[in-house]
Structure 1
Amino acid sequence: MKLILTNEVSGLGTPGDVVEVKDGYGRNYLIPRGYAMRWTRGAEKQIETIRKARDAREIRDLGTAKEVAGQLGALRVRLTTRAGESGRLFGSITTGDIAEAVKAAGGPILDRRRIEIVNPIKSVGSHRVTVRLHPEVAAGIDVEVVAG
């Protein structure tokens, strides 16, 4: 099945890429979640618009990405949320919460879709998350979650 990606899919491509995937993966996962749309001649004309939007959001070059990674490495991010007696959170910390906390801590504005949480953050304490700033640059952020 030939698809045009509308969002970044890890291991597959970036918005505007035309990819060939198995029918079930495209029909049952990528298209319903809005990560891709079917490739047609009419849809191919939209590729340029998707790429322009992606370029506007992306960090321009490798040097800038490394500079932002340095800023993030020196940043202390602290999130206050509700938690039970044992330190377990009511809910979990999302990528949107982390993006807002980074901005509030004086860091750069991050796209929440670039933040990767390997294990869900569901307890108080210190957690490490990764931010994909550029295809070649990833920055780690230490997030401290405290009960409030």
Structure 2
Amino acid sequence: MKLILTADVSNLGAPGDIVEVKDGYGRNYLLPRQLAIPATRGAEKEVAAIRKARQVREVRDLGHAKEIAAQLKSLPPVQLSARAASDSGRLFGSVTPAEVVSAVRAAGGPQLDRRTLTLPGQIKATGQHTVSVRLHPEVDADFELEVSASAR
């Protein structure tokens, strides 16, 4: 089955890539989750739009990715104030990638795409956590996130 990816799928491709997958994988996983669309002649125009949007968001090249990774490593632990927590430090809710991205930006770090973050499971407790960012297929960066409870 020939499909056009609309989102980044690990071990398969990036948005705008035309891939050949097994019928069941495409029909039962990729299409229902809207990670891909069927490759048709009319979809060629959509591919151009998807690739253009991807280029705007994407890190320019390997050198730029290494530069951003160096910026992230030089940051002190990023402070994030969660909405509320119990006395034992357990959060009411969890920390989202969008909150982490805005905390990095507020700490003076680079602008990141929330979809490139890899959180260590769900962050549901205060304390220090290590967050990974996939900047480029060859460059991953880690930084420390300090989660604290906001004043009630």
- Return the TM-score normalized by structure 2: 0.90
1:32 maps to what in 2? 32
Query: What amino acid is the match of 1:110?
Result: L
Q: Structure 1 residues 92-101 or 113-122, which shifts more?
A: 113-122
5+ residue gaps, structure 1, are none
1:95 maps to what in 2? 97
Displacement, 1:74? 1.5
Instruction: Please state whether the residue corresponding to 2:42 is helix, strand or coil.
Output: helix
5+ residue gaps, structure 2, are none
Displacement, 1:39? 1.3
Q: Structure 1 residues 32-41 or 66-75, which shifts more?
A: 32-41
d(CA) in 2 for partners of 1:48, 1:24: 27
Displacement, 1:101? 0.4
Query: What amino acid is the match of 1:80?
Result: S
1:131 maps to what in 2? 133
Indicate the percent of aligned positions where both proteins have the same amino acid.
61
Kept in 1, the 8 Å contact 2:120–2:129? The answer is no
d(CA) in 2 for partners of 1:77, 1:139: 14
Query: What amino acid is the match of 1:56?
Result: V
1:13 maps to what in 2? 13
Instruction: Kindly report which structure 2 residues correspond to 1:44-83, keeping only aligned pairs within 5 A, or say none.
Output: 44-75=44-75, 76-81=77-82, 82-83=84-85
Query: What amino acid is the match of 1:79?
Result: L
Is the aligned partner of 1:145 residue 2:147? Answer: yes
d(CA) in 2 for partners of 1:97, 1:25: 32
d(CA) in 2 for partners of 1:58, 1:97: 20
d(CA) in 2 for partners of 1:54, 1:17: 11
Displacement, 1:78? 0.9
Is the aligned partner of 1:113 residue 2:80? Answer: no
d(CA) in 2 for partners of 1:26, 1:113: 22
Displacement, 1:52? 1.5
CA RMSD between the two structures = 1.3
- Return the TM-score normalized by structure 1: 0.93
d(CA) in 2 for partners of 1:72, 1:89: 25
